[in-house]
Amino acid sequence: MHIVFSQDLSFYIEKAKVNSPLIQDNKNQREAAGLEADRLRALYTKAQVSLTGNYTFAPVIAKDNGQSKLDFNPSTTENYMGYDIAASNGGVYQGMLNINQPLFTSNRFKTGVEQTLIGGQINENNIQLTSHDLERFITDQYILCLQDYKQTEYLANLIKIINDQKNVISKLVESGIAKQSDLSLLIIELKAQLNALATFKSTYRRDLMDLRVLCGISDTTYQVLPVINIKLTVPIEMSRFTERYRLDSLNLLAAQKVFELKYKPLVGAFANTGLNAVYAPTLADRFGLSAGLNFSMNITDGKQRKIAQQRTTVLMRSTTLYKIFFYNQNTIRKNRILTELKSIDERIALTEDQLKEYQKLLEFYKQELSRGQISVINYISVLKSMAITQRDFVLFQTNKDLLINLYNYWNW
């Protein structure tokens, strides 16, 4: 079997970040926020140039001098049937180049860009949060894989002990010192442990594949994962989880500023040139130009501005409450994890002492068994008890690593 050792925890975490569609989406959203700022700059500071054209055909039936005739370009007709010439001008012929330049819009531009850039910061913070989540999930799955492999290592060692003892009992049976039933019991126990080993190997492969699925890796090569040594991180005062609440508050304030832009005066300059006529026979003389200024300002709209300000204040209160609640909850959560770690350290120490005593007892039993002083049943009973204790020991170690990883996740 070809075994690979190079792909460690950092490799899997990095692959998960690179392949995460959520991270890539937020990176795209962050890039889009920069492009939106460029669009706003063009909207508020650059002249807008456009072409417009219009042709309206509005003939009338003239009844001057007691005669009716179709007049395609009415000008002086007084008695006629058709659209009112004052309203339709008898037709419209327009083709113009228009230029509109917004004036005094620097404040509008800065306000719009501020909201856009805050959106980009929110996307960046989402990238950091997603990366941090992936570090936790990948590390948890990596730890579970290590647990499975530790169990296979222990069972392989246990099988070697049983197999060695089986060989010893076989010789004693041949010499008439031990009974055939003793040998059969050892063989049964050997097969039971071989079956358990096959189960844990299968579980290890499954969890290894799950790890790669989480990381978006299609590799199916068997690999023995390098062991890791997780340590508690130094306690922090300000959690980076609370950054989202700060950005939410800034986003609310920026949205309020954008809303209040509607109460600022709008000033712009315009100019156009081209054809603008209502009488076809004089089209050649109706090319010209015009320029001017426009102004608008909202005076009142039913106190919407005040209501919007009150709404923003209410929403910011909620953001503050969420931040305080998270801080208090996270403090309790971390203290609980530290308490659980202290308890599990005590259980690991006790279990380790148990295993040492089992090792001593097995050595005594091996000697007594070789002399026929004890039964194989007693030996197998000790083996089974030690196997259960060893599995508990591995589980305690795994739970400790998972708790440390959980603490480090929240202590960020």
Q: Which secondary structure element, helix H or strand E, spans residue 150, and what is its range?
A: helix 106-174
Give 288-297 pLDDT, tens digit per residue.
999 999 999 9
**Domains parsed from the chain with CATH numbers:** 9-47+105-264+302-410 (1.20.1600.10)
pTM of the predicted model, to two decimals? 0.82
The conformation of residue 263, written as its DSSP 8-state character, comes to: G
- Of the candidates 374, 250, 357, the one whose C-alpha atom is nearest the C-alpha of residue 312 is 250
What amino acid is encoded at 79 in this protein?
A: N
- Of the candidates 397, 400, 392, 395, the one whose C-alpha atom is nearest the C-alpha of residue 232 is 400
Report pLDDT for 1. Answer: 47
Cβ–Cβ under 8 Å, residues 70 and 116: no
pLDDT tens, residue order, the chain (412 aa): 445 456 899 999 999 999 999 999 999 999 998 899 899 999 888 999 999 999 888 888 888 777 788 777 776 667 888 877 777 777 888 999 999 999 998 899 999 999 999 999 999 999 999 999 999 999 999 999 999 999 999 999 999 988 988 888 888 888 777 788 888 988 999 999 999 999 999 999 999 999 999 999 988 889 999 999 999 999 998 899 999 999 999 999 999 999 999 899 999 999 999 999 888 888 888 899 999 999 999 888 888 999 999 999 999 999 999 999 999 999 999 999 999 999 999 999 999 999 999 999 988 888 887 776 777 888 888 888 999 999 999 999 999 999 999 999 999 9
- Of the candidates 79, 44, 83, the one whose C-alpha atom is nearest the C-alpha of residue 64 is 79
- Of the candidates 222, 211, 227, the one whose C-alpha atom is nearest the C-alpha of residue 4 is 222
Cβ–Cβ under 8 Å, residues 358 and 386: yes
Q: Would you tell me how many other CB atoms lie within 10 Å of the CB of residue 276?
A: 17
Q: Is the dihedral of CA 139, 145, 151, 155 positive or negative?
A: negative
Q: What are the angstrom distances between the C-alpha of 406 and each of 53, 97, 204, 335, 410?
A: 67, 65, 22, 12, 7
For residue 1 the two structure tokens come to: 């079997």
Q: Where are the beta strands (DSSP E) in 72-197?
A: 80-81, 91-103
- Of the candidates 30, 77, 31, the one whose C-alpha atom is nearest the C-alpha of residue 58 is 77
Residues 6+ apart with CB under 8 A from 304: none
Give 264-287 pLDDT, tens digit per residue.
999 999 999 999 988 888 888 889
Which residue in this structure is represented by tokens 């569609």? 21
Residues 6+ apart with CB under 8 A from 46: none
Give 379-396 pLDDT, tens digit per residue.
888 888 999 999 999 999
Q: Where are the beta strands (DSSP E) in 246-364?
A: 266-277, 287-296
Cβ–Cβ under 8 Å, residues 8 and 229: no
Residues 6+ apart with CB under 8 A from 38: none
Cβ–Cβ under 8 Å, residues 210 and 141: yes
Residues 6+ apart with CB under 8 A from 107: 264
